[in-house]
A and B are shown apart, each in its own frame.
Chain A
Amino acid sequence: MKISCIIVEDIQIAADFLRKFCEKSDLVEVKGHFMNVADALEFLDREKVDLLFLDVEMPGANGFDLLDRLTYSPKIILTTSKTEYAFNAFQYHVDDYLKKPFTYKRFMEAIEKLRQQQAAEISPTTTFASVPQPDSDFLFIKAEDKLIKLNKDDILFLESMRDYVKFVTAGKSYITYSTLKNMEEKLIGQTFLKVHRSYIVNINKIDDIRGNTIYVLGNQIPIGKGHKEDLATRLNIL
């Protein structure tokens, strides 16, 4: 199955190259090209895609603003001619970084890497090692070379670490090989809520919220712009 994508890019030549590379690969289907963040977000509100090719510097809002507003987690490949964004890219857990102009060879390296990640995510040997019963109070995660039982109620929050997810409890953190997307499907419900591209939080554990930050037992969790509304409706605000 082809990877569906959109291109968010304000330079037409760059977008044309990308589209051409996608077509040539026969692995990636371009669902649309948008010259700015607002138009891309409008599309993404209606339709989900597997991958975003995202320019950083665009008129108005930039690529990181789009990531802040996203309410789900497609794969992200940043396309920019500035290397200074590497740190931000790391913070936002982008999947790859293509420095413009890039060749077809470099493009294919990025796509192959994504395909390998996708294969790992759906492979039964590498997926989240729990036996998730939607209504059960616990789950098992594969960490520290064993299966560890975690009571859902003990989990404060989950943090994405690229191909790994960190489960944070009051006393200890556990890192397991999986993705936040997998966790979303297994945990989101009554008590767990995705509040940022990289964080899922246990609502029962929130101490307070100040501005765009959630405080959970001394930990600070950012609230993504696109998740604010969801969070507000889920909180019991008097």
Chain B
Amino acid sequence: MQKIRPAFVFDENLNASFLEELFEGDTIYAETVFEDFLKDLPVYWARVENAYNSKNLPTLGTSVHTCKTLFGYVGFTDLQELCQQFEDKCSVNNAEELRVDYILLIQRKEKAQHIIEKEYTRLRIFNGEKD
């Protein structure tokens, strides 16, 4: 008798229902996307850091915008909202006024990165077991 395998369940910090709709059960592709996210995020985040350190707020807004899009593809819809708020503030506040928000954003980004690292590992194991 063929064993029925349970579906992959995404971490509770992620918007699981959206991810299920996005990947339509294709956990192999989800693994690829999570891997790409972990590769791309440091590159895009470096632009955020450079822009903040040089107080270039238009570029800071654009760079956070890019990260926001990236977060969406791995199910961090709440973090997308935080990025959007920060992005909006970039056009009205100065770098000093953004400091607290920036620190919060860094903390949330690091937490997100950690969760995706774990999810990526879980996906690899899950997909490995499938073979």
B18 to chain A, nearest CB (A): 8
Contact between chains at B69 and A17 (CB < 8 Å):
no
Q: B90 contacts the other chain (Cβ, under 8 Å)?
A: no
Shortest CB-to-CB span from A13 to chain B, Å, is 5
Q: Is B102 an interface residue when CB atoms closer than 8 A count as contact?
A: no
Residues on the A chain within 8 Å of B24, using CB: 104
Count of B residues near A, CB < 8 Å? 18
The yes or no answer to B62 lying at the interface (CB within 8 A) is: yes
Within 8 A of A (CB), among B24-46: 24, 29, 33, 36-37, 40
The A90-125 residues at the B interface (CB cut-off 8 A) are 100-101, 103-105
Contact yes or no, B65 A81, CB < 8 A: yes
A137 close to chain B: CB less than 8 A: no
Kindly report which residue of chain B lies nearest to residue A10, judged by CB atoms: B66
* Cross-chain contact A14 with B36 (CB below 8 angstroms): no
Contacts A81-B72, A101-B73: A13 and B40 contacting too (C-beta < 8 A)?
Answer: yes
Q: Does B116 lie at the interface of the complex (its beta carbon under 8 Å from any beta carbon of A)? A: no
Contact A16 B36 (CB under 8 A): yes
Say how far A60's CB is from chain B's closest CB, in angstroms: 11
Nearest-neighbor residue (CB-CB) of A103 within chain B: B21
Q: Is B104 an interface residue (CB 8 A)?
A: no
Question: Would you give the 0/1 interface string for A58-89, flagging 1 where the beta carbon is closer than 8 Å to chain B?
Answer: 01000000000000000000000110000000
Which residues from 1 to 54 on chain A have a C-beta closer than 8 Å to any C-beta of chain B?
Answer: 10-14, 16-17, 20
Q: Does A57 contact B (CB under 8 A)?
A: yes
Tell whether, in the assembled complex, residue B72 and residue A17 are in contact, meaning their CB atoms are under 8 Å apart. Answer: no
The answer to whether the Cβ of B80 comes within 8 Å of any Cβ in the partner chain is yes
State whether B21 touches A14 (Cβ < 8 A).
no
- Taking A16-B36, A20-B29 as contacts, is the C-beta distance between A11 and B66 under 8 angstroms? yes
Q: Which residues from B are CB-within-8-Å of A10? A: 66
A17 and B73 within 8 A (CB):
yes
> Across the two chains, which residue of chain A brings its CB closest to B24?
A104
| Inter-chain contact A100/B36, CB cutoff 8 Å | no
| Docked complex Cα distance between A81 and B67 (Å) | 11
Q: What's the nearest-Cβ distance from chain B to residue A38, in Å?
A: 17
- Given the known interface contacts A13-B40, A104-B24, the answer about A57 and B33 at a Cβ–Cβ threshold of 8 Å is no
Cβ < 8 Å to A, chain B residues 49-76 = 62, 65-66, 68-70, 72-73
- Complex contacts, A17 vs chain B, CB 8 Å: 33, 73
CB distance from A7 to the nearest CB of B (A): 14
* A12 to B33 alpha-carbon distance, docked (Å): 10
Q: Which of B18, B37, B62, B68 contacts A13 (CB 8 A)?
A: B37
**Chain A residues with CB below 8 A from B62, complex form:** 57, 59
**Taking A13-B36, A101-B22, A103-B22 as contacts, is the C-beta distance between A57 and B65 under 8 angstroms?**
yes
Nearest residue (CB) in B for A20 is B29
Most buried by B among A16, A81, A104, A105: A81
**Given A12-B36, A12-B40, A13-B40 in contact, is the A81-B22 Cβ separation under 8 Å?**
no
Q: Give the top 8 A-B pairs by smallest Cβ distance, nearest first.
A: A101-B72, A81-B69, A103-B21, A101-B73, A13-B73, A13-B36, A100-B69, A103-B22
Interface of A toward B, CB cutoff 8 Å: 10-14, 16-17, 20, 57, 59, 81-82, 100-101, 103-105
Question: Would you mind naming 13 contact pairs between A and B with Cβ atoms under 8 Å apart?
Answer: A11-B69, A12-B40, A13-B36, A13-B73, A81-B69, A81-B72, A82-B65, A100-B69, A100-B72, A101-B72, A101-B73, A103-B22, A105-B21
